[in-house]
Chains A and B, each alone.
Chain A
Amino acid sequence: MDRQQNQSNPGVPVAAAADVRQVISAKRSLRIALRVALVLMLFTLAPAQKKSSCIECHSKLEDTRLSAPAKLFDNDIHRARGLSCNDCHGGDPNADTKEGAKDPRKGYLGKPKTLDIPAYCGKCHSDANLMKRFNPSLRVDQEREYYTSNHGKLLKTGEQRVATCISCHSVHGIRSPKDPLSSVYPSNVAETCSKCHASADYMRGFGIPSDQFENYKKSVHAKALYEKQDLSAPTCNDCHGNHGATPPGIASVANVCGTCHGRQAELFQVSPHKAAFDQRQFGECIKCHSNHFIAKPSDEMLGTGDKAVCITCHTAGDKGFIAAGSMRGRIDELIASVDRSTEILTRAERAGMEVSRPKFEMKEATDALTHARVLIHSSSAAEVDKVVAPGLAASAKGYQAGLGALAERSFRRKGLAVSLVFILFLATLVYLKVKQIERRQNESAEGA
């Protein structure tokens, strides 16, 4: 029998082949058993999350004041980073009873008092070593900075109606500032601040106005932020600071605005206005541009007209009055020139002429206009003229190109008219020739 040959593997006895099959089958069973065991192991390991009796109990409570924190915590960034209630409030999340969970011997702190909140959050957020474990790039000076803010200073005096960490960041449902749903996401900041600062009743006790948010909403910055969705556009914290929120002093206004409008701030610092403003204690930029309601600047703000801001200080005949009039005059001249050149180039383009190059070169003139509008912060007509003059030259070049293109169009049309006359004449000649040939052919055919 064992000598019987295996059909599928010639040369291997049948009995030996059966042994091999058994070994293979046993190995296969073992492999399947191991896989099942591995799956079961992973299954039992997967839900091995920390127990939290706080969430278990609080989420079932009927009093929404007590159940809300447990529900809100679902979306909290701290939960996402593996933290739980006891990491802030202390206590024992493994305890099965309320008493056990809230045992002071197990470090239960309960709800912090308003005065203690900055320190409460600062326990972790001011600890550089601890914060590195979660986010190495996160600053750890928020608490210290907070106490330099008006909010912090007032809190230290015992005033409890001021903003603390949770007033802006919310509590239990704290999201990353990069999260669009966060109360401190750029487009939500102004609204968050306005919760207190837009309330006239709330602010009355502090003697500060409550129209900032209304004014801000009409500003050029708000338009950029809300309408253009430009998240780099400034909102409250960009000028006032966030944790160290405080109104910029007279001396620091230019520095605040200058973080974005650097060139204007630089020019202002060396302008004759600097000393005059300092002397009169004027807030630099805001004197002309206002603070919260910063409208889109227009050329009308410059000069000696009714809407010019210059005339609030300057009177006819003084040096500033003359400089303002001169700067406005040169800028108006450049605007008129650019408009004239653009109009003629557009007209030529609509007529089908190729004017893309002169149109591109007109950028030199429009750039000069933008530059001139910045240079007015130097309050020097001579400085403004340094860019207006080349701008006017570039614009004049564009105008000449437009004129040339229209002249070329006119030449083409005249040329076409002459050509068409010649073409029609030629076609008529050929037609007459055809008729003459056919007449002769008919005559000869009739003759034949």
Chain B
Amino acid sequence: MRIEALRAWLDERLSLSTVAAMAQKKEVPVHRHSIWYYFGGMTLFLFMVQVVTGILLLLYYRPSSETAFESVQFIITEVKFGWLIRSIHSWSANLMIATLFIHMFSVFFLRAYYKPREMTWLSGAFLLFVAICFGFSGYLLPWNKLAFFATKVGTEIAGVIPIVGRPMLRFLRGGDDVTGATLTRFFGFHVAVLPATATALIAIHVLLVQLHGMSVPPKLIGKPVKKMKFVPNFLLRDLIGWILAIGVLAALAALFPWELGEKADAFAPAPAGIKPEWYFLFMFQTLKLIPAKVLGFDGEVLGILAFNGVALLLFFVPFIDRDPENLRRRWIFNVLGVLALIYIVVMTVYGYVT
């Protein structure tokens, strides 16, 4: 009785019944591509894992070039279950980027960006950019040798961009070189700017998904499609995935703890075979292979500009391919998507084996 009264009290103030009715109303199409619907929720779950483990790491992490490495070392050796939290944070970050890529490509190939979902795609594309920034800034925070030099190379690449490159490099580094100032501002981006941006974008993204409902592949538009209720059927299936994800993260953390490496030393020579995180590797490998001069232009600059162009194109996908009836354009986009996927996979593997 008391619970009922409390519910009524809350409902009167928060309109919970409206939210519940909306959730009850939401349905998920069931077809042979339904599996891809789970990756959005999985990415969101991994993001939540990042938030929780990130907050726990913040209790001990000290962001300065003198203390960062030692504090992470303290977390993984002295703090009770600190190793688990740190390893889960690192593994979950990588899995989140992976599920994000899978989610993006599935949305791309299933054409879930068609009208009226253009803004959903746009917010998702921004989220991908934010996630990559999360990865890049977080990589430096343990202040180890590999991260230090990877950041040096990464920011150097950004500095090559004509006109804005140099100021951008100085802004990112907090000076001309990667120093303690870089670490402090990367920490700021990682724990304040990016989480705030990501939270706002996720809110918009999820709200838009609720508003427009789940899309169906173009082939099924207008055809009778079997549906399942989002609550509880789909949500409980999501839950199974999340529970299993916790198991995978725990196993990865216990069996393959994320290495700390050696403390960064600005005066030490760069370690041989330095490589960025796997999700930057295809770009890094491309820049390594591109000739110094292409048609008289600096090859590296051209490569970076090309990647920027592709990134920009990604944002405009729903505005270029907007007609479900235009089969030719759909075919071209399919081919482009497959080629992009093959390119990323091949270059990443090539980057690892060379």
Contacts and interface: CB of A to CB of B under 8 A. Distances in A.
B257 to A, nearest CB: 4
Interface string B30-72: 0000000000000000000000000000000000000000000
B278 to A, nearest CB: 18
B243 interface: yes
B250 A352 contact: no
A353 B87 CA distance: 11
Nearest to A401: B77
B232 interface: yes
Contacts of A423: 243-244, 246-247, 250
A354 B254 contact: no
Interface of B is mostly: helix
A430 B247 contact: no
Contacts of B260: 354, 356
Q: Max chain A CB contacts within 10 Å: which of B77, B246, B251, B259? A: B77
What class of interface size applies to chain B in its complex with A? 20 to 34
A352 B238 CA distance: 32
B241 to A, nearest CB: 9
B262 interface: yes
Interface in B50-104: 73, 76-77, 83-84
A353 B236 CA distance: 36
A416 interface: yes
A352 B76 contact: no
Interface of A is mostly: helix
A415 B80 CA distance: 14
A430 B239 contact: yes
Given A356-B73, A434-B237, A416 B255 contact: yes
Interface string B226-238: 0001001100110
A200 to B, nearest CB: 47
A33 interface: no
Nearest to A423: B247
B244 A427 contact: yes
Interface in B206-241: 229, 232-233, 236-237, 239-240
B27 to A, nearest CB: 12
A415 B262 CA distance: 28
Interface string A383-427: 000000000000000000000000000001101100110011011
B168 to A, nearest CB: 34
A287 interface: no
A412 B236 contact: no
A47 to B, nearest CB: 42
Contacts of A278: none
A433 B236 contact: yes
A412 B244 CA distance: 18
A412 B84 CA distance: 9
Given A426-B243, A427-B244, A354 B257 contact: yes
A423 B249 CA distance: 11
B254 A412 contact: yes
B150 to A, nearest CB: 19
A357 to B, nearest CB: 7
Contacts of B243: 423, 426-427, 430
A438 interface: yes
B240 A416 contact: no
B256 interface: yes
A431 interface: yes
A419 B251 CA distance: 9
Contacts of A357: 73, 77
A352 B256 contact: yes
Contacts of A437: 232-233, 236
Interface residues of A, number: 22
A431 B240 CA distance: 7
Contact of A416 (B232, B251, B259): B251
B251 A420 contact: yes
Contacts of B84: 412
Contacts of A427: 240, 243-244, 247
Contacts of B229: 441
Given A354-B73, A354-B76, A357-B77, A419 B236 contact: no
B240 A430 contact: yes
A430 B236 contact: yes
A416 B260 CA distance: 21
B236 A416 contact: no
B348 to A, nearest CB: 23
Nearest to A435: B236
A438 B233 contact: yes
B244 A416 contact: no
Contacts of A352: 255-257, 259
B200 to A, nearest CB: 31
Contacts of A438: 233
B257 A353 contact: yes
A415 B254 contact: yes
27 contacts: A352-B255, A352-B256, A354-B73, A354-B76, A354-B83, A354-B260, A356-B73, A356-B262, A357-B73, A412-B83, A412-B254, A413-B254, A413-B255, A419-B247, A423-B243, A423-B244, A427-B240, A427-B244, A430-B236, A430-B240, A430-B243, A434-B232, A434-B233, A434-B236, A437-B232, A441-B229, A441-B233
Interface of A: 352-354, 356-357, 412-413, 415-416, 419-420, 423-424, 426-427, 430-431, 433-434, 437-438, 441
Interface of B: 73, 76-77, 83-84, 229, 232-233, 236-237, 239-240, 243-244, 246-247, 250-251, 254-257, 259-260, 262
Given A424-B247, A427-B240, A438-B233, 12 more contacts: A352-B259, A354-B260, A356-B73, A412-B254, A413-B255, A416-B250, A420-B251, A423-B243, A423-B246, A427-B243, A437-B236, A441-B233
Q: Which 3 pairs across A and B sit closest by C-beta, in order of nearness?
A: A416-B254, A423-B247, A352-B257
